[in-house]
Structure 1
């Protein structure tokens, strides 16, 4: 099995290819607060759990992700 690439291929908010035009609704201030809904490597819909303490997201092929730590 190959290592996942570090560059995101798909938009994590809409699932469309990153290089397919602008994603104005995906790059706004509100989107910065939203957890990812699609895997950046394969565009599969992820299982997302939102709690009062934060969120977690899991792709069935590429594993999980969590938000960056708060300062």
Structure 2
């Protein structure tokens, strides 16, 4: 099983334990601050038309990519 991390708190996701997500993140107003793969803090850049976040190990995540899911 692969460990996953909460992208807004950086805490490891534990099945059966509910980790709170900030209200702004639930509304889509807050970009992720932590990498889901390793839990490391990411470099985040916010612009008027979106945002991007970069993990030193796993690369760049872009808000336009999330809109395609």
Question: Which of the five TM-score ranges fits, normalised by the shorter chain?
Answer: 0.7 to 0.9
Picking from 9, 14, 19, the partner of 1:19 is 14
SS for the counterpart of 2:40 is coil
Root-mean-square deviation (Å): 2.1
Structure richer in helix, relative to its length: 2
Structure 2: gaps of 5 or more residues: none
Counterpart among 42, 66, 69 of residue 67 in structure 2 = 69
| Alignment TM-score, normalising by the size of structure 2 | 0.76
Which structure 1 residue ranges, 4+ long, deviate > 3 Å from structure 2? none
String of CA shifts for 1:10-63, please: whole Å, max 9, x gaps: 000000011172112x1x552131111000011000000001010000000000
